[in-house]
């Protein structure tokens, strides 16, 4: 900036500052408490009501029940857009948005997560 009297103080101030970026992956930022990463599921409290599937805009969650009362809850992190509506819609807090954000993988099955349990 060429305004006289502005450039020198600005340059001196900037000299004393740290880098604005972090050197990822060597250094990593700590994520804030409310950060929404991959969905974490706990089968114990789940009632199999399917509200998470119904409110998932990305169709990342599928809940199926068979005739014997077994519920299969499956989740595809590659489809997930991390909005957190499933956590909000779950009446029994079986779903929590986790902190995991390094989710890249080279094979498709690695994105899929599935739990089968009796209800």
Partner 1 sequence: MSEKASGTEIPVGPQHPSLKEPANFTLTVDGEVITGAQMKLSYNHRGIEQAVLSKSYIEAIYLLERICGICSHAHTSAFTQGVEELLDLEVPPRARYIRTLIGELERIHSHMLWLGVAGHEIGFDTLWQYAWRDREIVMDLLEEITGNRVHYSINTIGGVREDLTDEHCETILEGMDDLAERIDFYQETVPNEETVRMRCEDVGVVPEDLAREYCAVGAVGRASGVPTDVRKDAPYAAYDDVDFDVITDDRGDLLARTVVRIGEIAQAIRIIRQVAKRIPEGDLKASAKPPQALLAQVPEDDVVSRYEAPRGELIHYVRADGTDTPARVHIRVPTLANWPTVVESLKGSYIADTPIVVAGIDPCISCTSRIGVETDGNHGGENAFDLDELREYGIEWYDDRSDVERPSLDGDERTVSGGTRGDRA
> Which secondary structure element, helix H or strand E, spans residue 12, and what is its range?
helix 7-15
For partner 1, the binding residues in 44-103 under the rule CB under 8 A are: 51, 54-58, 81-85, 88-89, 91, 97
**Among the residue ranges 33-41, 61-69, 70-78, 110-118, the one whose residues contact partner 1 (CB under 8 A):** 33-41
Q: Characterize 75-112 residue by residue with b for buried, 16 or more Cβ atoms within 10 angstroms of its Cβ, and e for exposed.
A: bbbeebebebbbbebbeeebbebeeeeeeeeeeeeebe
The answer to whether the CB of 29 falls within 8 A of the CB of 102 is no
Q: Is 12 in the site for partner 1 (CB under 8 A)?
A: no
**Least CB distance from residue 67 to partner 1, whole Å?**
26
Interface contacts to partner 1, rule CB under 8 A: 1-3, 6, 10, 20, 32, 34-36, 51, 54-58, 81-85, 88-89, 91, 97
């Amino acid at each position: 900036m060429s305004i006289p009297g502005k450039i020198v103080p600005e340059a001196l101030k900037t000299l004393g500052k740290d880098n604005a970026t972090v050197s990822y992956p060597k250094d990593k930022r700590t994520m804030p408490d409310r950060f929404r990463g991959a969905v974490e599921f706990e089968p114990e409290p789940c009632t199999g009501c399917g509200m998470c599937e119904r409110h998932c805009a990305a169709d990342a969650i599928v809940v199926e029940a068979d005739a014997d009362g077994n519920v299969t809850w499956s989740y595809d992190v590659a489809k997930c857009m991390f909005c957190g509506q499933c956590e909000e819609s779950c009446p029994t807090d079986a779903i929590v948005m986790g902190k995991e954000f390094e989710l890249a993988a080279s094979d498709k099955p690695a994105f899929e997560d599935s739990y089968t349990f009796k209800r």
